[in-house]
Amino acid sequence: MSVSSFLSGIDMKRQNVRFYSVISIFFVLTALLFVSPYFINSWQKKNSQPAFSGSQVEPKYLKKPTVSGLPTHISIPHVGISIDVEKGYYNKSSQTWTLSTTKAEYATVTPFPNDASGNTFIYGHNRREVFYRLLGVKPGDEAVITTANNHKFVYRMSERRDTKPTDTSLFKYQGPPILTLQTCSGLWYQNRSLFVFKLVRVT
């Protein structure tokens, strides 16, 4: 066998190795493309759960509510959020909350929006269809809650805090009426971002 034939054979083998490597990478990337949305959704659902101790504190009303109602819609004009709100339930046996991929959830263990006291809690996925843009809310931005009985509760954002999934302090709040919104944050959705809004007016 001549030197040129030998070298030609080596080049052919290298080309075959490159070809099969490219094909392998293509199939791996294709598989990841199809699997990743399912993986991300599953991971996000698992890590979007609000913490809950299993019991809540009965609100001590500073005054008797004159206006209250079941929240059905939330809008935050400054960041372009305008979505429906559905009832969110806590399952004691599985220790999980209901979660929607298209709507926010009102935690039914917390008070309705009202003009007396208590912490109304609404949570949702960090998804474009739900609370993805919530992370852009700044102090002073307003949130408007529309209720089933056609009242509009206008709140103003006062503070944000990022906390651990085990933080249940929001369920122990006692004081003037506030709204707390929650979504997950962090590279692996490992944090809970809580946005606290104070009631401004009711119409």
Q: How remote is the C-alpha of 154 from its chain's centroid?
A: 21
The pLDDT assigned to 63 comes to 72
Residue 43 lies in a domain: no
The pLDDT assigned to 158 comes to 97
| pTM of the predicted model as reported, rounded to 2 decimal places | 0.75
Q: Contact at 8 Å (CB) between 79 and 136?
A: yes
Q: Which domain holds residue 110?
A: 71-202
Residue 93 lies in a domain: yes
Residue 87 lies in a domain: yes
Residue 48 lies in a domain: no
The pLDDT assigned to 187 comes to 77
Token representation of residue 135: 């992370």
Residue 50 lies in a domain: no
CATH number at residue 132: 2.40.260.10
The pLDDT assigned to 115 comes to 95
Tally of domains within the chain: 1
DSSP string, 116-169: SS-EEEEE--SSTTTTGGGGG--TT-EEEEEETTS-EEEEEEEEEEEE-TT--G
Q: Contact at 8 Å (CB) between 73 and 97?
A: no
The pLDDT assigned to 36 comes to 47
- Nearest by Cα to 96 from 23, 45, 57: 45
Residue 30 lies in a domain: no
| 66/91 Cα distance (integer angstroms) | 31
DSSP 190: -
Kindly give, in sequence order, each residue whose CB lies less than 8 Å from that of residue 150, ignoring residues fewer than 6 positions away.
69
The pLDDT assigned to 39 comes to 46
In this prediction, the residues of the chain whose per-residue pLDDT falls under 50 are 3, 6-7, 32, 34-40, 43
Q: Which residue carries 């700044």 as its tokens?
A: 138
Residue 47 lies in a domain: no
57 φ, ψ (degrees, to nearest 5): -85, 130
Residue 132 lies in a domain: yes
CA distances, 57 to each of 52, 96, 102, 105, 110 (Å): 12, 19, 30, 20, 9
| 103/85 Cα distance (integer angstroms) | 6
Q: Are strands 104-107 and 81-88 parallel, antiparallel or unpaired?
A: parallel
- Nearest by Cα to 48 from 161, 109, 102, 127: 127
Q: How remote is the C-alpha of 61 from its chain's centroid?
A: 29
